[in-house]
Structure 1
């Protein structure tokens, strides 16, 4: 047995079986994860001082490294959607963790009435661990958390929920690595019918030991609560100014300038499209008289606001500046972090710089003028492609030279200041992936890339990428194209086999199947991704379609021909980006660098060549014959007439057959290895086997060979033995069965695998030519877990015929940290290849957790 730790740091549990099997993930698929899209939540991602970022995909927390565009860790285990994640943002935690070699974060979810976890990473052993779990204090899901370090061993943080409460917590960190922490709730605040959606916690200026908690939400006001480590947070004042919901609050660190001594600043953003900067200044003791407002108020002076008491000190909060420039809701504001050089100094100070992100598809950097002190917008970056729908949050990198945004489509957008003498912000590569359930995957015939479709209404291509600079290193998996951007949820896809150009057919929540063909720009990009500069194969040099374009209100993707694209850039480089001032048509290009989100969303489309009309409901399943001559399709159905399977001839795309057998939706189909049989499984708990023959050039005959009720519940999955007329079926009844087609007209049950812990939702069989070793069966379940089972027959008799007994043994049960956190929708084996004397194959999976994963399996 071999246990490969891989990049995840978690060993795979290897079980008994006929083979020794080890599973690990390829570098570049982010440890155990594939590229992923962020959950659509306001302010979900976070970026800490170590350079690691955190975000959520479904209920699966992920740790990424934005600077290199990879996901590096998967924090598996939540049963419900995660609503919030933060690194402790006060800069003191940077010093604290730099000394101890440890980084920490908080995360919160809807689970069990709103649980909050404190998770820590130790550089010494490279392992993330759960340090503490907060009690179920909230009655509903936690929506926001904010925390600071008030000393090297004590952290304070607050959590708010849609139940209208805010809890303030004190956490005493362990004195040694790996120790336990002490956790206590020091205050519970009841807010009433209008819950808060934004929090920020800070220490008040003047070294008084007092803290202030700012809250903002649905009543358009900022509420300040003051207290200390012992709790007793008291409502001090409410600040008015915004005219719509407050979406984000962020306190600054103390400033180093003389005129800002004994003060901190609070920045707020709102759905009223404005940003307001508030100044909190230490005035005097509570017994002193508060001075009257000065008569001469100029642009450089602030408007004095309400005063409040905290302990024995008095503070005043005033409006410092009103920042206008965004044209839509401003979801996020954040102060720029201090330079990393401050880690070696005893005091850290706040730079005069703010980052904002808005639904107007832009992020802005704000700074005060050197002479007048008026805050101005000095940098604007954004995405203006047709598919971008705005930003839900923006974050600074630890050293302040990069800014990260996440958008409605689950996408990340990264810009870096590459200028030396002046600012020059340029877009950078960043992890990408689906942001809704991934419903189907298929490998290209050559195995060069993986195609996936999702309910996020996109089709995406992932491929290993080796660039010229790092050609000697291992390839990394990245999204290199987005062939289809649709207006309906996409349910199924099939790669068209056989010779010729790369083609696929997809089916969505519409009654039409659509056929797409790869343009020349993608073919050259694919060739470059494999670091081959020999040019296109001869049979593809006559491809005349460069790419595709789609109108903003259309669903069809129209071809862009080579002759009509004389001004199209030949390849992507740093000078090929269009100005953000205009929204150009699609500009297909050969990618010599990893594409950014703007290019993926608009410049890598494939042209649509055909539409297949015939079904009466939404498409549900597709498959293609191995010779590339037939495509079978099915749709959602509640009657036998609608549950027909349609056969389409590739090339002419004529309907050449309508197979009737089932009374409910056909959930999955597959052709046998020699294309002589078509297998279909259905929600009616039956499977059907049809014989498929060809009588002429455009004529096919088909006949129902067998129909049998195979399971007690819905049959979700099926898979053929690639070298024999044997197949497997998997069902909601938590069983998987092996069947054989005998003599071309009957089906016999060979084996029922032991009952699984969850519904079987995905199967994929990789076979061998051996008469006694049928191969390996991958099983995916509704729980997200994946198992590999070795299949074997009895030894042949003296007459050469194999015995009827059929055996199965569990070879590998994937570690949960490597698996999905919800239903596995599809499993697919990549073409195998020999590697150092042993067979190495790759297994791809997709699921409801919005994720696509690729595993290396070595026998």
Structure 2
């Protein structure tokens, strides 16, 4: 019986300040329409454990907590699909969707939470705030009742919500958003509903973050509210019980305390009556960030009289930790992130764009932040050195992944995406575990990337929404890093490779550069272009995000011209001597296949003609005797090699499928010339080439799929049973079926359907089986590129039909 498990998931985080939360050992974050679950402090660096699929649009808000009554772990998520989902943990890090709330009429932007009161609040772009009562029973039954709907006036969109409970038990809700004011709602006496009690003014731009904490562990201590804004400042507000004002902070009473000529107002606001009467006063203004502030989160140590610390993240590429010093002044105690003036060679490298999220670990010993490139950076506090040290985070694409390709030796996987990057993944082999990581970002482009193919062991070619293709060389620094971390020997070919690459200040072409020694760097003239020292990538671990964004580009070797529209597909021959490409087309003139030889990168003319619309997939047969093409015109075409590098049309089937054909693949060479095609007509067809004077192909088997088939891939390794070929087929809905086909009587021996929890939630764009590494193959591995932003690697202990 076939069995498989998910070995690796790479998925970037959504750029929304509310889209992540950390509770106990789990961090949950929005990744496209999904929610990724990750254990940041796991020592074996496994990365994302699972992706939860329940939303149909981008996830904007996530809250993770343990329900105090049932002791169950609960996840609440809000999305642009106007729904709020409640998930319950079934077993270790596996969550089940148990409730979907559809009361909002626009995108959910923020969720506020008070677990001990069983209350949460949701804010959406319909300019409403909804307050919910949540009840979770011990057998995981969930009830979520809408207590109140608040229409925010004057009309604004909520972007931040914070909740707390006063000593009297009354609920306080602070709301901020696309206005400069903060509204404070107080629960009415003996009722579940709340009314507007105060409006805090002072910020000069939208309020992006709000968070409550107690000033100390004493039960009667004051509350502090932190508010962070796009005006680059954080304001602290004190909630003090009683009819008397608190002792005015020294900073506020100092008449000299003005900011840019503007004095700080300290007007007291009063809320509540009787024993719930509180004053709200302005406590402090935190100045230090140079750009919009997205998040502000409190952390309080479980120590008597420990003062809380505040973590803020900003578009200025930094995290700041704020503490109150001995004199009572709030200062920035620690600053993490990119402090240097040099923000990367171009904005394309993604090292600018700011930190969108900053989170404390529950212990306060670790912090993480999410940047523009969808990657998580992590720092841990080292008690011996008394400083924060960089840790290994995780990364992934932030737009749909269009294609994946294994290197010919099977050691590296490359993926290309609409987020305009090509990424290289490889294994880090440690004594205790072998884990997958992003090891390089070979291409950071100005166009969405559509396809790629490996050429030999040191080159790859990619096509984007531009009229040319680009060929890249692996730099020596990356070859050495991969050999060191992957525990493999360096190739003799690697000695001739360039050291590294950068992008010129005004350009899109990665330029080869020489790495400098420390002495050469000290003597070098200052310049705007990025330089790299020999020690930069001499690492004992996979590269951090700063390295990936700047120092792991591949130098561009060649540009291939000839096409008139955006490139749609590319394939390299197995001997590495030829590259076949096609572009988007709506006429015969442009629906041609161009061949280029890889020695001098010249086009082999004439171009191959057979199709009338876009060619969607190209594939060379294992012996390079045939080139197969399929297209939107519903036909497949077979080109046979005549002499040298020339190909000519040998056979075609204008009615191969009844709808457009989206993918094709050749079976391994041991089973003569057999290929598969996948179509929008919900069929996968297996064809056998009958060679002779008149080349033709007959359809031997049709395998129906549940949705339009978008990708097929034949397994080419040695683990399949004799007289059996293994075919993976992916659909538009994200399903993957692995079929074992008997070549004796062309019947389906076994079909293995992967479980829903393992599968992508959107269309499969590419399937690629891993070639055997050094001739050894213990298990079959399948790489998957999906529309849901993820790159996945599945491992099969037993293949179907075995």
**1:367 correspondence with 2:316:** no
1:411 to 340, 358, 375: 375
Deviation at 1:767, TM superposition (A): 4.8
| Aligned twin of 1:402 | 366
Judging changes above 3 Å, is the alpha-carbon distance between structure 1 residues 584 and 506 closer, same or farther for their aligned structure 2 residues?
Answer: closer
Judging changes above 3 Å, is the alpha-carbon distance between structure 1 residues 484 and 568 closer, same or farther for their aligned structure 2 residues?
Answer: farther
RMSD: 2.9
The Cα offsets for residues 182-217 of structure 1, whole Å up to 9 and x where unpaired, read as 33221111125322111111112xx20111000001
| Aligned twin of 1:12 | none
Q: Does 1 or 2 have the higher relative contact order (CA < 8 Å, sep 6+)?
A: 1
Do the aligned residues in 2 keep the contact of 1:692 with 1:703 (CA within 8 Å)?
A: no
| Aligned twin of 1:802 | none
| Aligned twin of 2:624 | 675
Judging changes above 3 Å, is the alpha-carbon distance between structure 1 residues 292 and 366 closer, same or farther for their aligned structure 2 residues?
Answer: closer
**1:849 correspondence with 2:788:** yes
Judging changes above 3 Å, is the alpha-carbon distance between structure 1 residues 544 and 701 closer, same or farther for their aligned structure 2 residues?
Answer: closer
Deviation at 1:401, TM superposition (A): 1.6
| Aligned twin of 2:260 | none
Alpha-carbon distance in 1 for matches of 2:120, 2:333: 33
Judging changes above 3 Å, is the alpha-carbon distance between structure 1 residues 115 and 721 closer, same or farther for their aligned structure 2 residues?
Answer: same
Do the aligned residues in 2 keep the contact of 1:772 with 1:793 (CA within 8 Å)?
A: no
Structure 2 length as normaliser, TM-score? 0.90
Judging changes above 3 Å, is the alpha-carbon distance between structure 1 residues 39 and 753 closer, same or farther for their aligned structure 2 residues?
Answer: farther
| Aligned twin of 2:4 | 23
Alpha-carbon distance in 1 for matches of 2:305, 2:737: 53
User: What SS does structure 1 have at the residue aligned with 2:480?
Assistant: helix
The Cα offsets for residues 598-623 of structure 1, whole Å up to 9 and x where unpaired, read as 01111111111111111111111000
Deviation at 1:275, TM superposition (A): 0.7
| Aligned twin of 1:709 | 655
2:666 to 694, 698, 720: 720
Alpha-carbon distance in 1 for matches of 2:101, 2:148: 14
Alpha-carbon distance in 1 for matches of 2:185, 2:333: 33
Alpha-carbon distance in 1 for matches of 2:131, 2:588: 59
Alpha-carbon distance in 1 for matches of 2:763, 2:497: 41
Deviation at 1:264, TM superposition (A): 0.2
| Aligned twin of 1:543 | 496
User: What SS does structure 2 have at the residue aligned with 1:231?
Assistant: coil
The Cα offsets for residues 778-802 of structure 1, whole Å up to 9 and x where unpaired, read as 00011011110111133xxxxxxxx
2:58 to 68, 81, 84: 81
Do the aligned residues in 2 keep the contact of 1:337 with 1:399 (CA within 8 Å)?
A: no
Do the aligned residues in 1 keep the contact of 2:366 with 2:381 (CA within 8 Å)?
A: yes
Alpha-carbon distance in 2 for matches of 1:402, 1:218: 31
**1:118 correspondence with 2:86:** yes
Matches within 5 A, 1:249-648: 249-256=210-217, 261-284=220-243, 297-298=253-254, 303-309=266-272, 313-339=276-302, 351-371=307-327, 373-383=328-338, 385-386=343-344, 387-388=350-351, 389-420=353-384, 422=386, 424-467=387-430, 471=431, 473-497=432-456, 501-532=457-488, 536-537=490-491, 539-540=492-493, 542-561=495-514, 565=517, 567=519, 585-587=531-533, 589-648=537-596
Do the aligned residues in 2 keep the contact of 1:832 with 1:840 (CA within 8 Å)?
A: no
| Aligned twin of 2:160 | 198
Deviation at 1:378, TM superposition (A): 1.5
Do the aligned residues in 2 keep the contact of 1:544 with 1:561 (CA within 8 Å)?
A: no
Deviation at 1:829, TM superposition (A): 0.6
Do the aligned residues in 2 keep the contact of 1:436 with 1:850 (CA within 8 Å)?
A: yes
1:233 to 194, 212, 219: 194
Deviation at 1:251, TM superposition (A): 0.8
Do the aligned residues in 1 keep the contact of 2:728 with 2:736 (CA within 8 Å)?
A: yes
User: What SS does structure 2 have at the residue aligned with 1:66?
Assistant: coil
| Aligned twin of 1:128 | 94
Alpha-carbon distance in 2 for matches of 1:191, 1:825: 43
Judging changes above 3 Å, is the alpha-carbon distance between structure 1 residues 701 and 182 closer, same or farther for their aligned structure 2 residues?
Answer: closer
Deviation at 1:437, TM superposition (A): 0.7
Judging changes above 3 Å, is the alpha-carbon distance between structure 1 residues 624 and 47 closer, same or farther for their aligned structure 2 residues?
Answer: same
Deviation at 1:637, TM superposition (A): 1.1
Alpha-carbon distance in 1 for matches of 2:479, 2:773: 23
User: What SS does structure 2 have at the residue aligned with 1:276?
Assistant: strand
Judging changes above 3 Å, is the alpha-carbon distance between structure 1 residues 822 and 567 closer, same or farther for their aligned structure 2 residues?
Answer: farther
Unaligned runs of 5+ in 2: 258-263, 345-349, 523-527
| Aligned twin of 1:764 | 713
Deviation at 1:819, TM superposition (A): 0.8
Judging changes above 3 Å, is the alpha-carbon distance between structure 1 residues 129 and 526 closer, same or farther for their aligned structure 2 residues?
Answer: closer
| Aligned twin of 2:48 | 71
User: What SS does structure 2 have at the residue aligned with 1:727?
Assistant: strand
Alpha-carbon distance in 2 for matches of 1:104, 1:56: 15
| Aligned twin of 2:746 | 806
Structure 1 length as normaliser, TM-score? 0.84
User: What SS does structure 2 have at the residue aligned with 1:252?
Assistant: strand
Deviation at 1:701, TM superposition (A): 4.3
Deviation at 1:453, TM superposition (A): 0.7
User: What SS does structure 1 have at the residue aligned with 2:424?
Assistant: strand
Alpha-carbon distance in 2 for matches of 1:414, 1:179: 33
Judging changes above 3 Å, is the alpha-carbon distance between structure 1 residues 273 and 313 closer, same or farther for their aligned structure 2 residues?
Answer: same
The Cα offsets for residues 350-382 of structure 1, whole Å up to 9 and x where unpaired, read as 7331111111111111112212x1111121111
Alpha-carbon distance in 2 for matches of 1:460, 1:503: 14
User: What SS does structure 1 have at the residue aligned with 2:253?
Assistant: coil
Do the aligned residues in 1 keep the contact of 2:717 with 2:780 (CA within 8 Å)?
A: no
Deviation at 1:649, TM superposition (A): 0.1
User: What SS does structure 2 have at the residue aligned with 1:215?
Assistant: strand
| Aligned twin of 2:687 | 739
Deviation at 1:463, TM superposition (A): 1.1
Deviates more, 1:137-146 or 1:628-637: 137-146
Deviation at 1:709, TM superposition (A): 2.1
| Aligned twin of 1:824 | 764
Do the aligned residues in 2 keep the contact of 1:768 with 1:774 (CA within 8 Å)?
A: no
Deviation at 1:536, TM superposition (A): 2.7
| Aligned twin of 2:261 | none
Alpha-carbon distance in 2 for matches of 1:524, 1:290: 65
| Aligned twin of 1:7 | none
Aligned residue pairs, count? 764
Alpha-carbon distance in 2 for matches of 1:294, 1:710: 79
Deviation at 1:853, TM superposition (A): 0.6
Do the aligned residues in 1 keep the contact of 2:300 with 2:308 (CA within 8 Å)?
A: no
The Cα offsets for residues 87-127 of structure 1, whole Å up to 9 and x where unpaired, read as 24xxxx59x48xx764332112233xx222232336xx426
Alpha-carbon distance in 2 for matches of 1:270, 1:768: 56
Deviation at 1:349, TM superposition (A): 7.1
Alpha-carbon distance in 2 for matches of 1:187, 1:791: 59
Alpha-carbon distance in 2 for matches of 1:684, 1:835: 39
